[in-house]
Amino acid sequence: MLRRVLLLWILLSRADSFSVTVPSAPIHVVRGDTAFLPCEYEPASDVSNLVITWQRQEDSKVVHSFYYGKDQLDRQSPDYSGRTKLNHEELVKGNASLSIANLGLKDAGKYMCIVSNTKGTDRGELQLIYEAFYSEPRLSILLGSTNVTVRYETEGYPKPEVMWLGSEGQNLSDNLEVENAPDGGLYFLKSSYIAQSPFSVTFTLKNPAAPQKLQRHVNFSYDGNTSSRTSVVVLSVLCVFLLCSTGLLLWLHCRNHKK
């Protein structure tokens, strides 16, 4: 009886010492890249009893599983089909790290690494953060009768911090529009500032998840003898004249060719 109690105590003490280790800091991964989720455990000499299960913490979806010495993907969520991989050569060393290819917004969240072998069972939980760098902002300048609207458009994730700064570095008011892009993995941003010309402003965008900061300077001026409105009218007349001239030349060329 004493021998049985001693054996049970030894097994329980081993189980208590067994632990799974994952990073405490969130894992940041850029859209479309491969995510690497670290997970380590105390290995056993015999891996035939090794069971590894990666799951989503929010809904317990199976991301990847391994037992009986091979990957077991029959119960894997379709969201991860063909995208996950364990390094089998590292399992004997106590490394159950998982890679997830082609990361998207739906992959963001908390993951559990659950490991069981002859030394015990334990789990670790880590967080995966999805981010997308904002694209090069596209500039538009809209001339009104009494003012000028400067607008930048760009896409990225998550929602950024946007500011317009004056020539002295002062914070200017702006009109910001943010909406989901069609694929759901990006935000489409339009930010504009209405000014009285001439002016000098700076558009600033900070991505809170990625180490990304964009600054674009806009200087706008015109000849003091000509209003911006008149400039637009003159430019329009010139465009119409050029189009008419081109059409006339093409008509004369075709007429001479027929003769």
Higher pLDDT, 53 or 242: 53
Q: Is the pLDDT of residue 145 over 90?
A: no
Query: How far is the CA of 206 from the CAs of 71, 90, 184, 211, in angstroms?
Result: 42, 39, 20, 8
Determine the CATH number of domain 18-131. 2.60.40.10
Residue position matching structure tokens 């963001």: 108
pLDDT at 171 (0 to 100): 85
Q: How far apart are CA 124 and CA 206, in angstroms?
A: 32
Please state the rounded mean pLDDT for residues 40-62: 93
- pLDDT band at residue 3 under the 50/70/90 scheme: very low
Q: Where are the domains of the chain?
A: 18-131, 138-224
pLDDT at 257 (0 to 100): 43
Q: How far apart are CA 257 and CA 259, in angstroms?
A: 5
* Residue 31: CA count within 13 A, CB half-sphere: 19
Please state the rounded mean pLDDT for residues 206-221: 88
Number of neighbours of residue 132 by Cβ within 10 angstroms: 23
- Look over the chain and give the mean of its residue pLDDT values, rounded to a whole number: 81
- pLDDT band at residue 181 under the 50/70/90 scheme: confident
Determine the CATH number of domain 138-224. 2.60.40.10
Is pTM beyond 0.75? Reply is no
pLDDT single digits (tens) 230-243: 444 333 333 333 33
Please list, in sequence order, all residues whose beta carbon lies within 8 angstroms of the beta carbon of residue 78, skipping any fewer than 6 positions away. none
pLDDT single digits (tens) 71-105: 999 989 999 999 999 999 999 999 999 999 999 99
Q: Answer whether 18-131 and 138-224 agree in fold.
A: yes
